[in-house]
């Protein structure tokens, strides 16, 4: 066992203890992600572990009709509850890079897209004219990853990601980017009409 593996296990057990021994969601699986180092040689999978906080859906939604997604910009996590409360999942995510790109409040999933095509928004093309007009689904350079769930707010999505090192960072133009394996799992559980709240 490497020193890092031991540290990760200590962090996980300490985190579970700190949460009062509550049953934790699949959030802990997120720590089994491939390890990526940022510009300061910090492993991103470890950086997120203690930033998560459990949420009770009742603090954010009046019901779980069609399920619910909570996008927490502070702890940089996406939470999901199924309508029957049998499933609670939480994943690390990238979040909007500035307050200018951050929209908070209630919305819902209006469209689910498999291998989504990415079309930069007009504002993105204005800021960076070198961006391509579109990148087809399945292209490794597609920043939307393998799945996308459009929200009722124009240009806002919960989607996969082209670069796992962005997860846990302020790195998006307004969307929430998950590791592809995570967004694929979430995609299967979410339906059109699932309520979403961004805090």
Catalytically active residues, by annotation: 159, 175
How many other C-beta atoms lie within 10 A of the C-beta of residue 163? 14
The whole-angstrom separation of Cα 134 and Cα 148 is: 15
Give the burial class of 189: count Cβ atoms within 10 A of its Cβ; 0-12 exposed, 13-18 middle, 19 or more buried.
middle
Per-residue b/e over 112-143, b at no fewer than 16 CB within 10 Å? bbeebebebeeeeeeeeeeeeeebebeeeebb
The whole-angstrom separation of Cα 130 and Cα 32 is: 36
Compute the C-alpha angle 183/28/104, nearest 5°: 55
Q: What is the C-alpha radius of gyration for the chain, rounded to an integer number of angstroms?
A: 17
The whole-angstrom separation of Cα 65 and Cα 16 is: 29
């Amino acid at each position: 066992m490497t020193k890092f593996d031991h540290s990760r296990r200590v962090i996980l057990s300490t985190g579970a203890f700190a949460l009062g021994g509550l049953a934790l969601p699949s959030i802990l699986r997120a720590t089994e992600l491939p390890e990526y180092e940022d510009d300061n040689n910090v492993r991103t999978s470890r950086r997120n572990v203690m930033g998560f906080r459990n949420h009770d859906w009742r603090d954010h939604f009046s019901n779980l009709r069609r399920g619910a997604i909570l996008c927490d910009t502070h702890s940089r996590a996406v939470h999901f509850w199924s309508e029957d409360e049998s499933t609670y999942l939480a994943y690390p995510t990238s979040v909007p890079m500035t307050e200018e790109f951050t929209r908070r409040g209630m919305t819902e999933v209006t469209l689910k897209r498999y291998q989504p095509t990415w079309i930069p928004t007009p504002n993105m093309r204005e800021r960076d004219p070198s961006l391509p007009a579109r990148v087809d689904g399945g292209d490794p350079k597609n920043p939307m990853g393998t799945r996308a769930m459009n929200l009722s707010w124009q240009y806002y999505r919960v989607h996969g990601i082209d670069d796992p090192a962005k997860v846990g960072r302020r790195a998006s133009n307004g969307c929430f980017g998950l590791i592809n394996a995570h967004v694929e799992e979430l995609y299967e559980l979410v339906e059109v009409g699932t309520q979403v709240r961004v805090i």
